[in-house]
Amino acid sequence: MPNLAKLQKTIKQKKIEYIDLKFCDLIGDWHHITIPTRSLNQELFKIGIGLDGSSLPGFAKIERGDMIARPDPGTVFIDPFYDIPTLSFICDIMSVEKEVGPYSRNPRRVIEDADRYLKKTLPGVDSILGPEFEFYLFDNVEFHQGPKEGYYFLDSEEAEWNAGREGQKNLGYKVQYKGGYHVAPPKDRTYNLRSEMTSLLIEVGIGIKYHHHEVGGAGQHEIEIELDNMRKIGDQSMIIKYFVKNHAFRRGKSATFMPKPLYNEPGSGMHVHQYLADKNGSIFYDRKGPARFSQIGLYYIGGLLRHAAAVLAFTNPSTNSYKRLVPGFEAPVRGFYSVGNRTACIRIPGYQRKSSTHRLEFRPPDATCNPYLAYAAMLMAGLDGIKHKIDPGLPNNKDLSAMTEHELKEIPLMPTSLTKALDALARDYDFLLEGGVFTEDLIESWDHLKRRDVEQIRTRPHPWEFQLYYDK
């Protein structure tokens, strides 16, 4: 139960007038409902607020739509984007069938049960994660799709394509194509904006490792956060996307975590650093092991590689995700692990020196995922590797572009489309059901939603098809 006296003190000191309750649907979008502060009482945290689950993507049918959003008192923060001071809580979705209980498709329920399963399998052990958030900032965004037209138009003040722009004051200092990595001001025009974003995140308790301009010359950026336990990182991931998009919006820019918004420019991923830790630190460390990995750490890698194709159905759940996972952009296209090789599915950072945080980086994910489901799926794959002692072999540190066809055949290709990832999930999901973490009901609903995305893209003409076929 919450400390109501402490909350009431905050409400008085900060002159809070409203309580905002935020809850996540199956595909990973936040929704919210706002109530006056007089509604803040023990019953709110015990009973919650009623809602129509049938209106949320992937949730209940209309005849079973009644559900409850119950706020988690440990998630409280002051929302900086409301003109009227507002206190926010992240909620769990509860089912009211028979008796009130966690809804099977509630994403926060999945990550909490994954944590419970981990502690049952390895008592005293936590899953520690550290995602990297890459995104683009644009100054103009237009798109439309109709029966007789379809287009998108994106613009960035710092992009090289604006070097010859006429009719407006142009001071130069454009960022070249694929030339934005750690570029300094004045080419990096949004360093102040990123600092404002990260300061806001620090104010609500999110640890920041750093921020910088990324490779994409047309406004690509990265914010990396400090490592923390999986459940906390799930909530923080939702907050980070919310803060980045809203703060960019109020500064007259548009932020997108879309994996591949621009043709032939780097895509935006969400690489996830991860390890399992007991009270002494990472249990993945062994000074004498391959890549200084312990046997249990190697088994975790083995499980993640064994189930990678199925895991991608949750970590890369958009049709656009697979426009990023192509050769030539430091994106992982084959399922192997390596030390320092950024084209590997799993990279073991070569720069790490602390045994207490010895970790791997799973490179395929992007931020179109539902973080609760994506993080849980990665953990379950790793734990399956530990359970079945799946040996990944030695790290492969070769340059893929220099390997022969025969050598490449020994390294499995990652899914090249959302359809292939969903097909892989349909063949390989038993590891997700362990401990009741995922349910067949949730997986079926996820598959239905995502195949609907595929069908919507499949049935619409693509602009490039006119270039290829219009005069045939």
Q: Do both 98 and 133 map to the same domain?
A: no
Average pLDDT, the chain: 93
Q: Residue 231 is part of which domain span?
A: 126-469
Q: Do both 388 and 315 map to the same domain?
A: yes
CATH number where 93 lies: 3.10.20.70
Q: Is the pLDDT of residue 34 over 60?
A: yes
Q: Do both 131 and 69 map to the same domain?
A: no
Query: Looking at the domain assignment, is residue 338 inside a domain?
Result: yes
Q: Do both 273 and 362 map to the same domain?
A: yes
Q: Is the pLDDT of residue 1 over 90?
A: no
Query: Looking at the domain assignment, is residue 73 inside a domain?
Result: yes
Please give the share of the chain, as a percent, with pLDDT higher than 90.
78
Q: Is the model more confident about 340 or about 297? A: 297
Q: 304, 298 in Cβ contact below 8 A?
A: no
Count of alpha carbons within 13 Å of 339, Cβ hemisphere only?
12
Residues assigned a catalytic role = 52, 132, 134, 214, 222, 271, 342, 361, 363
pLDDT at 398: 78
Q: Do both 195 and 94 map to the same domain?
A: no
- Of 68, 102, 136, the residue at which a domain comes to its end is 102
Q: What is the mean pLDDT of residues 264-288?
A: 95
User: pLDDT tens digit string along 392-404?
Assistant: 998 888 777 777 7
Q: What is the mean pLDDT of residues 193-222?
A: 96
CA distance readout (Å), 134 to 33, 93, 326 = 29, 29, 17
Q: Do both 90 and 131 map to the same domain?
A: no
* Residue 433: partners with Cβ closer than 8 Å, 6 or more residues away: 439, 440
Q: Do both 75 and 187 map to the same domain?
A: no
Confidence label for 54 from pLDDT (cuts 50, 70 and 90): confident
User: pLDDT tens digit string along 210-238?
Assistant: 999 999 999 999 999 999 999 999 999 99
Q: What is the 3-state secondary structure (H, E, C) of 220-282?
A: EEEEEECCEEHHHHHHHHHHHHHHHHHHHHHCCCEEECCCCCCCCCCCCCCCEEEEEEECCEE
pLDDT at 430: 98
Count of alpha carbons within 13 Å of 265, Cβ hemisphere only?
28
Q: Do both 98 and 227 map to the same domain?
A: no
Sort residue 146 into left (φ over 0), alpha (ψ -120 to 50) or beta: beta
CATH number where 330 lies: 3.30.590.10
pLDDT at 342: 73
User: pLDDT tens digit string along 58-84?
Assistant: 886 644 668 899 999 999 999 999 999
Q: Is the pLDDT of residue 92 over 90?
A: yes
Query: Looking at the domain assignment, is residue 462 inside a domain?
Result: yes
Domain count, the chain: 2
User: pLDDT tens digit string along 149-169?
Assistant: 999 999 999 999 988 876 677
User: pLDDT tens digit string along 236-246?
Assistant: 999 999 999 99
- Of 43, 70, 102, the residue at which a domain comes to its end is 102
Query: Looking at the domain assignment, is residue 208 inside a domain?
Result: yes
User: pLDDT tens digit string along 103-117?
Assistant: 889 999 999 999 999
